[in-house]
Amino acid sequence: MGKFRVCIVKLLTFCIRYQWDKIAHGSIDALYLEKLDNFNLTEERKNEILQMVFPDLIVIECDFNAYPILETWLKTQKEVIAFFYVTNVIALYCLDRKKEALEVLNSYLIQNLENTFFKRYYSRMQGIFEDGTNIRFELNGYNDASYVFIDGLTINGLTDYKLLNFLIKEEDQWVGEFKLPPGENYYIFYVDGKRVFDPNNSVTEIKYGLEYNKIVIQE
């Protein structure tokens, strides 16, 4: 078995250990990154592995304890697609590094003045929602929460990553405005890693094997 394949096998073991440590301790130490150095891999191979790991931990699981993995990977890249830039600033935002998130996103915008993806999230982080929204979500309380997302939304025909659908804090509630397609839509609040049903909507339905709140958007 080649060195790279051995590394992948051990990396899977590391990821399982990561999950157990997270359950036991609620956080992960950035020193886990040093494990990759034990394999004497080229920088290219190491970056491949980092790119395999952080999308699952941060984009899918919204586990921002893994931010050092994304941060390390970004520093090695000459070019990065807009999605990963936005992933980076949302992670910073959710780590209560909001000022830094806005500064970083503003620097992206200066270099990419016409990028509507960057503009959308730069505005949203400041409580300015895009034109054409047709639904406003509000969740009262949870004042100590680090982040709140909307999970399950279908946008442009695809189920969106919940990471992209974050709410912002306004006084004693979390709010967000989105444009959803006409017809039935399914969603649930995702508060600091836990699914929370909408207390203002008692209508639920099983979708994708899980229970979600349901709303109907009129044409």
Report pLDDT for 197: 97
Element (H, E) at 25: helix 3-25
Where along the chain do its domains lie?
Answer: 3-124, 135-217
Report pLDDT for 36: 63
pLDDT digits (tens, 9 = 90+) for 134-180: 999 999 999 999 999 999 988 765 567 899 999 999 989 999 999 99
Long-range (24+ apart) CB contacts under 8 A made by 40-48 are 40/3, 41/3, 41/4, 41/7, 43/76, 45/4, 45/7, 47/73, 47/76, 47/77
Report pLDDT for 160: 77
Evaluate if residue 7 carries a pLDDT over 60. no
pLDDT greater at residue 202 or residue 54:
202
Count of CA atoms in the C-beta half-sphere (13 A) of 37? 5
pLDDT digits (tens, 9 = 90+) for 82-136: 898 999 999 999 999 999 999 999 999 998 888 888 999 999 999 999 888 999 9
According to DSSP, the residues that pair with 170 across neighbouring strands are 173
pLDDT digits (tens, 9 = 90+) for 67-84: 888 888 888 888 888 898
Report pLDDT for 169: 92
Query: Rounded to two decimals, what is the model's pTM?
Result: 0.79
Could you tell me which residues come within 8 angstroms of residue 110 by beta carbon, excluding any fewer than 6 positions away?
none
Pick from 39-48, 172-181, 197-206: least confident: 39-48
Evaluate if residue 22 carries a pLDDT over 50. no
CATH class of 135-217: mainly beta
Report pLDDT for 126: 92
Instruction: Show the DSSP H helices in 26-133 as ranges.
Output: 43-54, 67-75, 82-94, 98-111, 116-124
Report pLDDT for 75: 85
Is-contact 191 155, C-beta < 8 A? no
Is-contact 180 135, C-beta < 8 A? yes
